[in-house]
Structure formats: structure tokens, C-alpha cells
């Protein structure tokens, strides 16, 4: 009979909690160190839609270290979470992600998911709602409702501009309004 796992360290998780990862890996009861192979832990974790990749290292003093690459949730759509690889999973409300409020054609939707996966996590968390707002000139235009009350127009071809939001915000001097990042870059104060 081997001794049990004594320490479990989870590295690089941002969305799943340490406990959720331990539960998925079935390590909750600190099973036998020697009878719990690394590949079994890895396979259990890879079965989760939220895990893109994982490495498991066993070390001295019965320590298990799990390095996680998450398949991060990007937005909520029709009671489902859309993960960065496009997978849809039931939205249980545990993740703070923007909500898509209307229908987006499939081609634009796949580009939107790809664009959201490339922006900074801190910026993604500042978006409360995403609305598809095509016009006669641009069928790739979106309106982002920010948690701070501002609205941002952005185009899929220039979506990376939203990463500049934190640098632009101080220049607005506390004013609320509409920031146009779709063509050019200008701000209109909203009059309420």
C-alpha cells in the first residue's frame, strides 16, 4: 500500500477554481500517490470542455503539480457559454463574460469568437453586452456595452483596438459616451 498524495498545486488557472480542477481530476480524497498515474489525471482533466491542455508532474513528498491551459469562456449566448475553441456549454452563471444580445450570422460569429479570444482578459471582463449592429457600410460592426456605462463601436477587422480601452479611458475625464473604434477613433459625450 503506497502513501497518499499530500500536496496538490494548480498552476495557470484563471477561470476554473483549484477545487473544480481537483474535483474533475478526482483527487478530492487525496488518493494513493503511486496508484494514481499522471496520465489518468491528465485524461480526466482533458475530458472537460474547459481544459485545452494540461501537464501533470509528480514530485517529492507526494506532491502533484497540475499545469493547466484553459479553454476560456468568451461570451454567453442563448443560455450557453461560448468557449474560445467555439464549443458551446451550458451557462450555469459561474463565469463573468459578456452576453451576446442578438443574432450574428455564422461567418461573423466565428470571427467574433476568434477576435474575443485574442483580446486581453482584463478588457473582456469590462464588456457586459455585445450587440451585432451592421449598417449599410459595414456588416462586421459590433456595439460593446462596457460595465462602466460607456459604449464602444468596433469592427471585426479592427477588433484588437478594444485592447486600448484602458489607455483611452483616462482621456475621457470621467465622461460617459460612445467611443468609435470601428473607423478612426473618436468619442461622443452622451447627453442624458
Residues 124-172 have pLDDT tens digits of: 999 999 999 998 988 999 999 999 999 999 999 999 999 999 888 888 8
Q: What is the mean pLDDT of residues 32-43?
A: 95
Q: Which pLDDT value is given to residue 169?
A: 86
Q: What is the mean pLDDT of residues 27-34?
A: 94
Domain ranges of the chain: 7-70, 105-189
Q: Which pLDDT value is given to residue 147?
A: 94
| Architecture of the domain whose range is 105-189 | 3-Layer(aba) Sandwich (3.40)
Q: Point out the least confidently predicted range of 9-23, 99-113, 158-172.
A: 158-172
Give CA–CA dist 181/162, Å, rounded: 7
- 7-70 under CATH 3.10.20.310, yes or no: yes
In the chain, pLDDT over 70 holds for what percent of residues?
Answer: 96
**Predicted confidence (pLDDT) at residue 116 exceeds the cutoff of 90:** yes
Q: Which three cell numbers stand for residue 148?
A: 462602466
How would you label 179-191 residue by residue, b for 16+ Cβ within 10 Å and e otherwise? Answer: bbbbeeeebeeee
Amino acid at each position: 500500500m503506497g502513501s497518499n498524495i499530500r500536496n496538490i498545486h494548480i498552476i495557470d488557472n484563471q477561470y476554473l477554481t483549484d477545487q473544480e480542477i481537483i474535483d474533475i481530476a478526482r483527487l478530492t480524497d487525496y488518493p494513493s500517490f503511486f496508484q494514481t498515474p499522471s496520465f489518468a489525471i491528465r485524461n480526466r482533466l482533458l475530458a472537460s470542455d474547459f481544459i485545452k491542455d494540461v501537464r501533470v508532474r509528480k514530485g517529492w513528498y507526494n506532491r502533484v503539480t497540475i499545469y493547466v491551459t484553459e479553454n476560456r469562456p468568451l461570451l454567453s449566448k442563448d443560455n450557453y457559454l461560448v468557449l474560445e475553441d467555439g464549443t458551446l456549454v451550458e451557462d450555469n452563471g459561474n463565469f463573468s463574460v459578456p452576453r451576446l444580445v442578438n443574432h450574428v450570422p455564422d461567418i461573423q460569429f466565428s470571427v467574433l469568437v476568434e477576435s474575443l479570444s485574442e483580446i486581453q482578459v482584463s478588457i473582456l471582463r469590462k464588456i457586459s453586452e455585445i450587440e451585432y449592429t451592421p449598417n449599410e457600410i459595414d456588416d462586421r460592426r459590433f456595439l460593446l456595452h462596457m460595465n462602466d456605462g460607456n459604449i464602444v463601436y468596433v469592427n471585426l477587422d479592427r477588433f484588437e483596438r478594444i485592447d486600448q480601452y484602458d489607455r483611452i479611458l483616462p482621456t475621457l475625464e470621467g465622461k460617459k459616451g460612445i467611443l468609435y473604434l470601428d473607423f478612426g477613433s473618436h468619442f461622443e459625450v452622451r447627453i442624458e
